[in-house]
Structure 1
Amino acid sequence: MSSKNVVPIVFSFDDNLVMQAGVCMTSLLHHAKPETFYDIFILHDSEAKFPSSGILEKLFLQFSEFSIQYVNVGSDFRDAFQIRGITQATYYRLLIPDLIPQYDKIMYHDVDVIFRDDLSSIYFDTDLTGYYVAGVSTPYSDIEQYFNEKIQTTSSKYIAAGDIIFNSKAIRDDNLVAKFRELAKLNWKYQDMDVINVACKGKIKYLSPGFCVVGTTSEILKDRDQQYYTQEDVEYALKYGIIHYNGPKPWNTWCLNFDIWWEYYRKSVYFDPEFYYSFYNNKLDEYDRLPLIKRIKILLRYFKTMK
C-alpha cells in the first residue's frame, strides 16, 4: 500500500442501507486508478448488525485495492435534534476529525451516491490551507429565505454535506468538534448540514459541481444559458460527476439518473435478479396505467434531459 495514492474516505449508515452502501462502494472501486488505494472507514452505532455480517466484505470478491474499518460511534448524538425521520447517524460525520485522527484531511460521502471517476486527483489537489471544509454549493435554491434568515448566508455559499472534504487538522487544532456538538442540540431544519455551514462559515472552500451533483445542480447544468459554472466544469459534471440522490431514491422509485444507479447495481456482487425484475416490472405496470397524456409528458421530459 505504501506505493499507492491512499485516499481516506468515510461513510456512515445503518442496517437499512447496507446493500445500497455496497453498490455505492462498487461504483467507487470500479473507477479507481491502478495507483489508488481507498482506506474506507464506516461509522455506525452500537446496535448495528452489519459490521459482523460480512456483507460488505463481499466487495473483496471483485476488488482488492481498498480496506474497510468499522468505527463504533456508540450513543453519540442521541440527544441531537432530529427531523423528517432522519436519525442521529446523520450527525456522525461531525466527529470524523476526532474519530479518525491518523488523517489530517479526509473525505466523507453519503451512500446514496454513485461515483463515476477516481477521487485521488480531487483529494490531493484540494488545498485546504485556511479552510475547515470543502464542498459544493447550489447557487440557486427555492429555500433562499431560510438560508438568509436562519443561517445568515446565501445558497451560493451554503454547501451540501453529503459529499465533503474535512481539514481534520484545522478542525482539531481549533476544537471545532465541540462547537459541532453544541450546535447539534439546536432545532436546525437541515441538521448536520446546517451545523457544518454555521460552524465553518468563512472557512469553506467551494468545489466544482462535479463533486456533488444533486437535483438542483442538474437543473443548472442542463441550462445552456447558466452563468454559474464554466463549460469545462459542466461537461465534467455531466459525464463524470458524483451523483447524489438527495431526494427520491432510485432503488425505490423512478427519479433523476435512476438508471445510473441500477447500472452499478447490476455490476455489483449484490445483484439479485428477482429484486431487479420486481422493480422494473412494477414500474412498467405503473407506467402502463398512466393516462396517455401523462406518458407523453414523461417521455418528453426524459428526452429533454438527454439533450
Structure 2
Amino acid sequence: MTIPVFYSISDDFTKYAAVSLYSLIKKADPNTDYTVYFLNQDLSDKHKGDLMAMATENVHVKFFHINNELVAPIKNRKENFLRADFFTPSIFYRLFIPELFPQYDKAIYIDSDTVLNDDIAKLYQTDLGNNLFGACTDSSIQFVEKMLFYIKYVLDLDPKKYINSGMLVMNCNSFRDKHFIDHFMDLLTKYHFDCIAPDQDYLNELGENSILHLDPRWDAMPNENTPEIKDPGLIHYNLFFKPWHFTNVQYEKYFWENARQTKFYSELKQELDNYTDQEREQDRNKLNHMLEKADVTARDPHNWAQIKKQGSVAL
C-alpha cells in the first residue's frame, strides 16, 4: 500500500513546493511507502527534474498533466478569480483527484505553500466514515469581520465550520459515489457564483453536511490574532504574508529550517531580500481588495444564499 499525496503546482511555484516536499520526506516514516503527485499544466522539464531528484526509496515523485479539456468549463471570469485578484485553474485541480485516480479509495491534497512538521501518514490514517473529506476550520479568517459576514450571509454557512482547502483528506469513494465533480460542474456553469475562494467555497457548500473537522494542528496558518500552535503538524502560509516576502511571519522558522536544505535556499533568501516595501504594501492592499468583494457579492441576487433558498445547491 502507498499513501498518495497530491499537490497542484505551476512552474513559478516549484521552489516553494520543493520546500514542502523536503519537509514531507524528512518527516516520513522510513517503513511506509508514499507516492507524491504534482498536478500541473506548465511544469518545465528542469523543475520536474529538480523535484524528481528529491525522491527517496520510499517517497516516490510523479507528475500528472492536467489537459485543457478537463478544465475548459472553468472560464477565466471574475467569479472564478482567486481572492478577487487573478484567475488560475490550478486551484481547481484538487477537485478532480478522485476521478483522475480511481485506484485510490482515499488521498491527501496539500497546497504548495505548506511545510510538514509531522508524518503525513498520520493524516492518511484518519477514519473519514461516510464523510466526503476531512479538513480544518479556516483559522486565518476567524477574526476578519468582512470574511465572517461573507461566509454567513453570502455563502449561508457557519463561519466556525468553514474549512480551508489547503489540506484535504479526501474520501475518493464518496466523491465518486456522490458524483461530486458532475454536481460541481453543473453548479459552476449554471449559476456563475461570484466567489472569493472559488474551489474552497464550492467544497464548503457541496460538503456542508459531510465534512470531518480535523485537529487545527494539521492546517496551522500565520495569524496575528492568535498565538502559535505549539506542535503544528502542517503549517500553511495562506493568503499574502509569505515568509519569503515578509519577515517576522508566524511559523516562519519551520519554512526556513526546511528551505535551507533545498537547492532553492539562496534563491528564496534573495527573493525575501529583494522584495520591496512597496510590494509588501501592495500585498496588504490585495487583502483589502479581496474583502471588498464581500460587499459586492452580498448585493448579488444570485449569490449562494439566495439560490440555496430555492433548494438547488445541496449535494
Structure 1 and Structure 2 fold alike (TM over 0.5): yes
Are the aligned partners of 1:137 and 1:157 in contact in 2 as well (CA < 8 Å)? Answer: yes
User: 1:129-208 to 2 correspondence within 5 Å?
Assistant: 129-138=129-138, 140-142=142-144, 143-185=147-189, 186=192, 187-208=194-215
Amino acid at match of 1:238: K
Q: In structure 2, do the counterparts of structure 1 residues 141 and 183 end up closer, same or farther at CA, with 3 Å as the change threshold?
A: farther
Partner of 2:245: 252
Q: In structure 2, do the counterparts of structure 1 residues 54 and 154 end up closer, same or farther at CA, with 3 Å as the change threshold?
A: same
CA-CA distance at 1:193 after TM superposition: 0.2
Partner of 1:271: 265
Partner of 1:74: 67
Considering only aligned residues, what root-mean-square deviation do their CA atoms show, in Å?
2.3
CA-CA distance at 1:51 after TM superposition: 7.6
Amino acid at match of 1:55: D
Helix, strand or coil: the match of 2:230? helix
CA-CA distance at 1:282 after TM superposition: 5.5
Partner of 2:5: 9
Q: In structure 2, do the counterparts of structure 1 residues 44 and 138 end up closer, same or farther at CA, with 3 Å as the change threshold?
A: closer
2:52 equivalent among 48, 57, 79: 57
Partner of 2:21: 25
CA-CA distance at 1:172 after TM superposition: 0.2
Are the aligned partners of 1:14 and 1:48 in contact in 2 as well (CA < 8 Å)? Answer: yes
Are the aligned partners of 1:20 and 1:112 in contact in 2 as well (CA < 8 Å)? Answer: yes
Q: In structure 2, do the counterparts of structure 1 residues 132 and 271 end up closer, same or farther at CA, with 3 Å as the change threshold?
A: same
User: 1:102-141 to 2 correspondence within 5 Å?
Assistant: 102-124=103-125, 126-138=126-138, 140-141=142-143
Cα distance in 1 for partners of 2:32, 2:22 equals 15
> Structure 2: which 5+ residue stretches go unaligned?
278-315
Q: In structure 2, do the counterparts of structure 1 residues 134 and 242 end up closer, same or farther at CA, with 3 Å as the change threshold?
A: same
Cα distance per residue 1:47-66 (max 9 Å; x no partner): 43248741211203xx3311
Cα distance per residue 1:109-154 (max 9 Å; x no partner): 0010010010212211x11122001100146342111111122111
Are the aligned partners of 1:131 and 1:203 in contact in 2 as well (CA < 8 Å)? Answer: yes
Are the aligned partners of 1:38 and 1:66 in contact in 2 as well (CA < 8 Å)? Answer: yes
Q: In structure 2, do the counterparts of structure 1 residues 51 and 89 end up closer, same or farther at CA, with 3 Å as the change threshold?
A: farther
Helix, strand or coil: the match of 2:7? strand
Q: Which has the higher contact order (CA 8 A, sep 6+)?
A: 2
Cα distance in 1 for partners of 2:232, 2:221 equals 13
Are the aligned partners of 1:136 and 1:208 in contact in 2 as well (CA < 8 Å)? Answer: yes
Range with greater deviation from structure 2 (78-87 or 128-137): 78-87
CA-CA distance at 1:241 after TM superposition: 2.5
Partner of 1:34: 30
> Structure 1: which 5+ residue stretches go unaligned?
223-236, 287-307
Cα distance in 1 for partners of 2:166, 2:117 equals 16
Amino acid at match of 1:15: D
TM-score by length of structure 1 reads 0.77
CA-CA distance at 1:201 after TM superposition: 0.9
CA-CA distance at 1:84 after TM superposition: 1.3
Partner of 2:305: none
Are the aligned partners of 1:9 and 1:38 in contact in 2 as well (CA < 8 Å)? Answer: yes
Partner of 1:229: none
Cα distance per residue 1:70-93 (max 9 Å; x no partner): 111111334342241241110111
Are the aligned partners of 1:137 and 1:156 in contact in 2 as well (CA < 8 Å)? Answer: yes
Amino acid at match of 2:109: Y
What is the aligned-residue identity percentage?
A: 24
Are the aligned partners of 1:18 and 1:50 in contact in 2 as well (CA < 8 Å)? Answer: no
Cα distance in 2 for partners of 1:204, 1:280 equals 37
Amino acid at match of 2:103: Q
Cα distance in 1 for partners of 2:188, 2:46 equals 26
Cα distance in 2 for partners of 1:277, 1:120 equals 30
Cα distance in 2 for partners of 1:181, 1:159 equals 21
CA-CA distance at 1:239 after TM superposition: 2.0
Amino acid at match of 1:136: C
Cα distance in 1 for partners of 2:207, 2:138 equals 17
